[in-house]
Structure 1
Amino acid sequence: MRRRLLVTTIWAAGGLALGCDSSKDAPKPSDLPAVPAPEIPAEPANAPQPEAKLEEPAPIEQPDDTPPPPHPGPWLWVTRVSAGIYATPKKDSAQKLGYVKRGAKIPVLAEKVEGPDCSGGWLKLPSGGFVCSMIGTMDPKHTEARFPPRQPNIEDILPYTYVRNAHHGTPLYKSIPSRSKMCTYEPYACETKKEKEEKAAAEAAKQAEAAPSADTTAPPSSESNETAEAPRENSATEQALLAAAESLGEPPEATPPPELKPWEDEERLHQVTHDKLELKGDPFVARHMLKGFYVAVDKTIRWSGRAWYKTTKGLIAPADRMWQVKGSTFHGVEIDGEEITLPVGFVYGTKKSVVTYEIDENTLRMKPKGAAKKWEPLPLTGKTLKIQGKDYYELKNGTYILGSAIRKTTPNPRPPEIGEKERWLDVDISEQMLVAFEGDTPKYATLISSGRESKIKEKDHSTPRGMWRIREKHIVSTMDGDGTAAGDLPYSIEDVPYVMYYHQSYATHAAFWHQNYGSQMSHGCINLAPLDAKWVFYFAGPELHEGYAGAWSTKDRPGSYVVVHD
């Protein structure tokens, strides 16, 4: 299923559409429209841009991790949809360090700096960089400062509450609808109990009629002495209708059934695209969703006897058509160099635990000795025994575990382009493992899910192998696209957490819609458990300062290397 994954990220002055699958088709803008409420201006249209080409800097050393002292003030509350942060007090895309979003509270210095493109003056951030003072307010009593929109919660497993749409055709309203409008767009929501029962009975009868008959008795042949059942006579009502039709000289025409929406017709469902789900020009509904779409929730509202979700995009979704998803509690392990060292492994797959064994190295006799739980980090010695063609890895406690039951670290040596104290990520596709390094010192190890591989071109989502620097990173970014292989349906995931692009449209990011870490699952990106994605996000460069929604790599602040290999 070679789907094109599009990623939308808001910029202060423009946009960028990216994704996890580098298809031959040019990507298109794909973000959901913003709510048309007066206090939330529309988001700018996003246009695809070529991958930035950075001059390769010399190997760098990592900055001191000591946190800065708390900022005493003043603060700037962002009221624009988004705004850029620049290295100098002027709008220069080549000098853009990152961006902030509406509702963010960012530390600034009190004194303003004059510069072009901002008549109100520029404000310097303690961490470096400048923002235009006109993008927000420094008044803590301002309504936007007192009641800002929900910001990503980086202290929790997931930055937002996420819900999954459970039915085809669920509308995303531009505002909470009146009951009459709700009944227009969602007639099922206004059905009486009797209507629902009749509808269910009709559906059951339809399924029973379509089911093959359980009677396997052969029908009587023409040579049989049994008499066939006589045809049923028309009822009086049917005879009256036929007589009326004959008097008109032609049979009455049947009333055509109402035209089905694309997502209501199973035969046409595979033809649905995002363009067909959008309701351009409709004053009440922005678009419809397919089953499996995800939205991020800003708040829950109760109105007209129904619960509604206001999404982080400002749209309104009926809560009874969706169900909440939880982020996995799984996370990798920090390598302290003492209790935990490389190599390290993790049990993965469908089993909750895997047996460990005592093995006599002389006779190779095996004896069960405990069990290792799924996702449990297992320090290994590096020693392997082969018994009846199967590898068994020795754990540091002296027991052995079946090699095929675990994933283990097998990172490559540090490439010469990477400095001795520089941070970088090693991604092993064959073992589905990631190891974060600082120079030659491992700092963290965990499971990943890379792109699903296939010999069929249309279904191949292989993660490219190579070595690249992280180009940009975003706390959240929306991913959606249309299916490109036969039978594929469109997909949409709002505000995917902890996204770091390193090559074209390929990125590392959190995946909360599955928990099959250690197995190929993605469209080409490197999926991580949410807690792992967050750890890696804040470990790798470019650095993301307080209040930032995203950051770009520059010559002076290059992103960390990502090395992907088999």
Structure 2
Amino acid sequence: MGAVMGGSRGQTLRATRHAPPFLSFTLAALLVTGHARASNEPPWVAPETEPLPQGIVSARILKADQPILASPWEGAQRRGSAALDVHLPIFAVRRGPGCKGRFLSIGPLAWVCEDAVELAETPFVNAAYRAIRETADGLPFRYYFVGPDGSFAYKKLHAVDIGAPDMQLEPGFAVAIVEERVVEGARYGRSHNELWIPMRDLGPARPLAFRGEEIKPDAPADVLPFAWILVDKAKVFSTPSALGKTEGSRARFERVPFFEEKHVGGARFTRIGENAWVRSSELRHPTIAPPPPEVDVAAGEKWIDVELESQTLVAYEGKRPVFATLVSTGKGREGTATATPRGTSRIWAKLFTSNMDNLEDEGATRYYRMEDVPWVQFFAKGVGLHGAFWHRSFGTVRSHGCVNLAPLDAQRLFFWTTPRVPAGWTAALPSTHDVGTVVRVR
């Protein structure tokens, strides 16, 4: 997926869009960096003011995705957002323009206006707390697809099937259900976007067990010794020839050893065992690549390499590969809006989830909407790494520009890269002390 929601939750979904990539409300807010302020000089900020009332140790966030600023004034650069009802620590207090109360420091280069919180004696969250938890299948919510007849969504449960709908959901749209209730014998689900939907119109998304490969420190330095089967059933031959004796088959996503490759009669074959060969076109093999100049190799800096030809991703620490997996990149021709752009960037925003759609694309032949796409890491404007629960085409091009990962792999990389998402936050942008991980697409 490579387009992100920009419409209002209360409107029907036949809105118009511009060409992708698109920015969600949350993502668009993260882009606000104080452009209204003409000068680079910070505004006047008062020194530390009167102390907090005795016993106050935390600030309870009063709305979902509460903006967190890098400095204590309105229009300052964004640092991220906080989760609803989470209690964050208070380290300092400052008066600053744009806040009727005071600005509260809730971490390094992280400020929130007192008007948006409730001061509390409740202990603040543990440093290990996460607004969205890791799960065994990589899916932070229970996801459902809208059935062939479509559905309607309502802001109020009592209005479902009775009042005018607040949103129309088309077949194939995906929603994240966080609560279910039964009213007069019918079951309804509340989405993470606070809309009620008849469960009869929804079908569950099936988790995918596939995950990438952790690479041992003693792995060969020049070639990764494994690959994955790409097709549903790959025939295994006793010799590097389709005319050789068949020795069974291997299933899709199966990890197999990679020993060597040979060209025979215009075709390529890969040896995966003793007297065991498969067509090279029926597997995907990640390759080793040197780091780009942006990476501090001596410090063992983390970075990610995406290879379009093989549809694979390799994560490195310095020159050492530590993890590899399959991906699905943009299906458009190079240079088009749906192609994954080549180049080297740094992750500039991390969001636990983001809504993605193409609802404002007037020229679209088919509309899509995926709510709460998990483990989103933007590195080239609106193009990013994220989990995909709506397809199993990893190893082939599929997306609208983003780098799709199996949910378990997206989850694994999200907590490995920088910037770190602090406890109680739902999104984070880099800072001078916590820069984004390098991502190269080649």
Q: TM-score, normalised by structure 2?
A: 0.78
**Structure-2 residue corresponding to 1:177:** 158
When residues 485 and 330 of structure 1 are mapped into structure 2, their CA distance, relative to the original with a 3 A threshold, is farther
Q: Distance between the aligned counterparts of 1:364 and 1:452, measured in 2?
A: 30
**Structure-1 residue corresponding to 2:395:** 518
Q: Distance between the aligned counterparts of 2:28 and 2:289, measured in 1?
A: 41
Contact 1:411 1:428 in 2 (8 A): no
When residues 518 and 485 of structure 1 are mapped into structure 2, their CA distance, relative to the original with a 3 A threshold, is farther
When residues 300 and 153 of structure 1 are mapped into structure 2, their CA distance, relative to the original with a 3 A threshold, is farther
**Structure-2 residue corresponding to 1:153:** 133
Displacement of 1:101: 2.4
Which consecutive residues of structure 1, in runs of 5 or more, have no partner in the other structure?
Answer: 11-22, 32-42, 53-72, 186-283
Displacement of 1:389: 2.3
**Structure-2 residue corresponding to 1:229:** none
Displacement of 1:557: 2.6
Q: Deviations over 1:448-477 (max 9, x none)?
A: 01111359x99x732111111111110000
Q: Return the index of the structure with the highest Cα Rg.
A: 1
Contact 1:127 1:545 in 2 (8 A): no
**Structure-1 residue corresponding to 2:143:** 162
The reply on whether 1:482 has 2:363 as its aligned counterpart is no
Aligned partner of residue 157 in structure 2, secondary structure: coil
Displacement of 1:295: 1.1
Aligned partner of residue 218 in structure 2, secondary structure: coil
Q: Distance between the aligned counterparts of 2:94 and 2:32, measured in 1?
A: 31
When residues 151 and 316 of structure 1 are mapped into structure 2, their CA distance, relative to the original with a 3 A threshold, is farther
Q: Which moved further from structure 2: 502-511 or 341-350?
A: 341-350
Q: Deviations over 1:78-137 (max 9, x none)?
A: 22233233444444533x32211213354x25x542332556545444666344455334
Contact 1:163 1:295 in 2 (8 A): yes
**Structure-2 residue corresponding to 1:14:** none
**Structure-2 residue corresponding to 1:503:** 380
Q: Which of 303, 306, 310 is the matching residue for 2:190? A: 310
Displacement of 1:301: 0.9
Q: Deviations over 1:129-183 (max 9, x none)?
A: 34445533465889xx9xxxx95332342011111111445111121235xx725
1:90-239 equivalences under 5 Å are 90-91=73-74, 93-94=76-77, 96-106=78-88, 108-109=89-90, 112-116=92-96, 117-118=98-99, 121-125=102-106, 129-137=110-118, 139=120, 152-156=132-136, 157-177=138-158, 182=161
Aligned partner of residue 379 in structure 2, secondary structure: strand
Q: Distance between the aligned counterparts of 1:436 and 1:501, measured in 2?
A: 16
Which residue identity is paired with 1:98?
G
Which consecutive residues of structure 2, in runs of 5 or more, have no partner in the other structure?
Answer: 9-16, 36-55
Displacement of 1:550: 0.7
**Structure-2 residue corresponding to 1:255:** none
Q: Deviations over 1:432-460 (max 9, x none)?
A: 000011111101100001111359x99x7
**Structure-1 residue corresponding to 2:228:** 347
Contact 2:21 2:382 in 1 (8 A): no
Displacement of 1:410: 2.1
RMSD: 3.8
Displacement of 1:370: 5.6
**Structure-1 residue corresponding to 2:292:** 415
**Structure-2 residue corresponding to 1:5:** 3
The reply on whether 1:438 has 2:421 as its aligned counterpart is no
Q: Distance between the aligned counterparts of 1:289 and 1:89, measured in 2?
A: 41
**Structure-1 residue corresponding to 2:38:** none
Which residue identity is paired with 1:375?
F
Displacement of 1:337: 2.6
Q: Distance between the aligned counterparts of 1:485 and 1:123, measured in 2?
A: 44
1:252-401 equivalences under 5 Å are 284-338=164-218, 342-351=223-232, 353-359=233-239, 366-369=244-247, 371-381=249-259, 383-395=260-272, 399-401=276-278
Q: Which structure has the highest strand share of the two? A: 2
Q: Distance between the aligned counterparts of 1:443 and 1:359, measured in 2?
A: 32
The reply on whether 1:562 has 2:426 as its aligned counterpart is no
Displacement of 1:313: 1.3
Q: Deviations over 1:312-369 (max 9, x none)?
A: 1111111101111123111101111336874244434441x43444449xx9995555
Contact 2:24 2:354 in 1 (8 A): no
Displacement of 1:505: 1.7
Q: Distance between the aligned counterparts of 1:87 and 1:344, measured in 2?
A: 45
Q: Which moved further from structure 2: 128-137 or 475-484?
A: 128-137
When residues 82 and 557 of structure 1 are mapped into structure 2, their CA distance, relative to the original with a 3 A threshold, is same
Which residue identity is paired with 1:497?
P
1:30-109 equivalences under 5 Å are 76-91=59-74, 93-94=76-77, 96-106=78-88, 108-109=89-90
When residues 129 and 417 of structure 1 are mapped into structure 2, their CA distance, relative to the original with a 3 A threshold, is same
Aligned partner of residue 536 in structure 1, secondary structure: helix
Aligned partner of residue 527 in structure 1, secondary structure: strand
**Structure-2 residue corresponding to 1:63:** none
Displacement of 1:24: 6.6
Q: Which moved further from structure 2: 74-83 or 119-128?
A: 119-128
Which residue identity is paired with 1:102?
L
Contact 1:163 1:324 in 2 (8 A): yes
When residues 485 and 406 of structure 1 are mapped into structure 2, their CA distance, relative to the original with a 3 A threshold, is farther
Q: Which structure has the highest helix share of the two? A: 1
When residues 167 and 395 of structure 1 are mapped into structure 2, their CA distance, relative to the original with a 3 A threshold, is closer
When residues 126 and 401 of structure 1 are mapped into structure 2, their CA distance, relative to the original with a 3 A threshold, is same
Displacement of 1:482: 3.1
* Count of matched residue positions in the alignment of Structure 1 and Structure 2: 404
Displacement of 1:4: 8.1
Displacement of 1:523: 0.8
Contact 1:168 1:289 in 2 (8 A): no
Displacement of 1:428: 0.6
Aligned partner of residue 6 in structure 1, secondary structure: coil
**Structure-1 residue corresponding to 2:53:** none
Aligned partner of residue 436 in structure 1, secondary structure: strand
Q: Distance between the aligned counterparts of 1:121 and 1:397, measured in 2?
A: 71
Q: Which of 452, 457, 462 is the matching residue for 2:331? A: 452
Contact 2:70 2:76 in 1 (8 A): no
Displacement of 1:518: 0.6
When residues 407 and 9 of structure 1 are mapped into structure 2, their CA distance, relative to the original with a 3 A threshold, is farther
Which residue identity is paired with 1:516?
S
